[in-house]
Amino acid sequence: MNARIFLMSVMASMISIETCWSSNIDEVDLYDFKSGQRAIAAEINSNFLIIRKAVSNNFNELLKLKNNRESDAENFNNDNAEYLVAGDWITTPQLQTNFSTCELTGLLIVPTGTTIRCQSGFTLAAGAEIVVSEGFGLGVARTQATNRIGGLALYQTTAASSFDAFPLGGAGDNGGGYLRIIADGDIVINGVIRASGNTGNSLSFDGGGAGGLIVLESNHEIDISAGLIYANGGSGAYRWLSLNKTNPDNSLVYISPDADPATIPNYIPQPQFSGGGGGGGIVVLVAESITAPEDSIRVQGGAAGINYENYNQENSTVILGGAASGGNGGETGSAGNVGYVIKINRTSTK
């Protein structure tokens, strides 16, 4: 009797599940038990077998659906995850950045914010390069550069815990860009990745752009022993001031930084305006094993504009400090601070 009650409770539970697969059960085939009616084992077993068959059929249908979806996904990947090849993704946008094979042997130019995903490993061959376009705006800096004051860098703790949510590169309109490479296999860098900040604009007395952000993630090993990654800060702008002897008020005029003031008649060289150097960038490496000699990753701060003599005018011309990224931007006339490299060792996700 206890066994029968247990079996009936199991049947009740399965009947409640049966509603999810009602399309596969003909209720006419099920025995209908009335209250107070004595249950017969054969009828209970019959109902059980009918429901089990329906559940099994639906499980097989779900399994087929799962396999079909995996097959579709595989076909999609095979159709779209082509070989990674050299090119310019700025002039010719690349809308599929997931690849089955990533062995780059030429020059690849990518816009800031690009993520490259590789189903296998990623190899940047000797002589090959990836150039990341400029970042823009505040980037990851805590503060923007202002008149004679450099920007403040992102905290290392923030970078280590939030590297997968970075904005679009180093600060400044001429800051280095952002690139992320994710590979299931090894990442081997024998070539060069460039994401450095650029020199400030001399016409607007800019500081140097901050170094960019490079993130490499592998489920296995990262090896940069034979390659280079550049995420340096850019140099501050500079521009000569010269005294115009031909003007009655001896007014100061600006000369292009490319010109030689000594070759210009009636001009006497004066101290120059010089923007601050941009802060060095950030490189994050995530893998089970990381081989990256110290000199393989460059995140130096940018230099100040040359020959700065701390010149100040009463009209207080705006001369910007350097932009920030991993390192603080330099004050006017000062170099930017060095950025940093973060190495995160983790076990395989497979």
Higher-confidence position of 189 and 250? 189
Confidence (pLDDT) at 23:
47
Is pLDDT of 175 > 80? yes
Encoded tokens for 109: 């130019």
Is pLDDT of 101 > 80? yes
Rounded to an integer, the average pLDDT of 73-82 is: 50
At 294-326, the pLDDT tens digits run 899 999 998 887 654 444 443 335 566 777 788
Closest CA to 208 of 325, 58, 345, 349: 325
Rounded to an integer, the average pLDDT of 101-110 is: 95
CB 257 within 8 A of CB 221: no
At 116-167, the pLDDT tens digits run 999 999 999 999 999 999 877 778 888 888 777 888 888 899 888 888 877 6
At 55-67, the pLDDT tens digits run 666 656 656 655 6
Confidence (pLDDT) at 6:
42
Is pLDDT of 31 > 70? no
Q: What does residue 254 show for φ and ψ, rounded to 5 degrees?
A: -100, 145
Is pLDDT of 282 > 80? yes
Higher-confidence position of 10 and 202? 202
Question: What SS3 class is residue 176?
Answer: coil
The length of the chain, given as a count of residues: 350
Q: How many C-beta atoms lie closer than 10 Å to residue 80's C-beta?
A: 13
What region, left, alpha or beta, does residue 75 occupy, with left being phi > 0 and alpha being psi -120 to 50 degrees? alpha
Confidence (pLDDT) at 242:
52
Confidence (pLDDT) at 334:
84
